Structure 1
Amino acid sequence: MKLLEWLKDKLKKENLMMLNLSKKTTTNLIIVFCMGLALILIADFYRDIRMNGKAEEGIYNEDTQIEAGTTDNTSPDFVRGLENELSSILSKIQGAGRVSVMITLKSGREIIPAKDESISDKVTNEKDTSGGTRIINEKTTDEKVVFTAAQGGSSKPLIIKEINPEVKGVIVVAEGAKDSKVKLRISQAVQTVLDIPAYRVTVYERN
């Protein structure tokens, strides 16, 4: 009987130990899960902050560039397109033959954005020690670039005017330039199309 009671008592103790161990394991798993979830939430939070910071920085940089009123982003494409068009039309001049054109610009393309301008006037009357009155007129002007909604939820400046860059000089190489009359016609054509003086146009014979 004593042996049986001893076995029962031992089994109860072992069951209690297993139950406590199971509870501890469950608690530890819950703690680990909560810590993992917290780390994921913190990582997402800081990622959103970085993304927002980069987006604001991009808008600020774009705004600053637009404020300056100039950008060279489209100038290379503008030049290549103009050179190709000129080469095509000049090659159609009688006796010109094959033609190549090179154009240089004085500056980049100028972009003028719409601006929201606010002007405030402040008039102050001050009296000096001698009893006289001095009027101080302060005028403050604040300008901000106007942005419009674009696709994808982004924004872009509202452009009211675009000014193409001024041509600095043109070089034309043509097969028929050995003929002085053809050379003159090519030069005159370039002057007319680009509205530039003759000294900015040089025509050479192709080798």
Structure 2
Amino acid sequence: MEKKIADALSEIDGAGRVTVVLTMKAGSRRMLAEETNNDDTSAVLVSRGSGYQETVTVQELSPQYQGALVVCEGAGDPAVKLKLVEAVSALTGLGSNKISICKGK
């Protein structure tokens, strides 16, 4: 994900070369359907033919990010910095207080 975000951010006018580091709060997860009989809980399985079974996914959760660091050549320009913060926020769901933009060498 960091590479994809860095590639996208480097396309912002004035950003220059970009490196992104994300810290994770929680990775992507799948919530599986469960069946409870008395005190026993087990995942719900569905037959797909030829003896193949798979679990039933109830919900897939996207990764949650804790913070982001963006290092780029154009971070000295306040307008570029603002565009970078807005873009990272849109892509990760992070608030601007969790995004640090630093000027690279």
Structure with the higher helix share, 1 or 2: 1
Within the alignment, does 1:193 sit opposite 2:88 as a pair?
Answer: no
1:152 and 1:168 map into 2 onto residues whose CA distance is 43
2:49 and 2:25 map into 1 onto residues whose CA distance is 34
Please give the residue correspondences for 1:89-100 in structure 2 after superposition, counting only pairs within 5 Å: 89-100=8-19
Question: Which position in structure 1 is the counterpart of 2:32?
Answer: 113
Unaligned residue ranges in structure 1 (runs of 5+): 1-81, 119-139
Give the match's secondary structure for 2:26. Answer: coil
1:197 and 1:172 map into 2 onto residues whose CA distance is 14
1:110 and 1:163 map into 2 onto residues whose CA distance is 5
Question: Which position in structure 2 is the counterpart of 1:172?
Answer: 70
1:176 and 1:152 map into 2 onto residues whose CA distance is 57
Question: Which position in structure 2 is the counterpart of 1:101?
Answer: 20
Structure with the higher strand share, 1 or 2: 2
Within the alignment, does 1:83 sit opposite 2:6 as a pair?
Answer: no
Larger radius of gyration: 1
Q: TM-score, normalised by structure 1?
A: 0.45
Please give the residue correspondences for 1:1-207 in structure 2 after superposition, counting only pairs within 5 Å: 82-118=1-37, 140=38, 142-149=40-47, 153=51, 155-207=53-105
Aligned residues: 105
Q: TM-score, normalised by structure 2?
A: 0.84
1:151 and 1:167 map into 2 onto residues whose CA distance is 39
1:89 and 1:154 map into 2 onto residues whose CA distance is 40
2:48 and 2:58 map into 1 onto residues whose CA distance is 16
Identity of aligned residues (%): 30
Q: For the structure 1 residues 174 and 152, does the alpha-carbon distance in structure 2 shift closer, same or farther, using more than 3 Å as the test?
A: farther
| Structure with more contact order per residue of length (Cα contacts < 8 Å, sep ≥ 6) | 2
Letter in 1 for 2:11: K
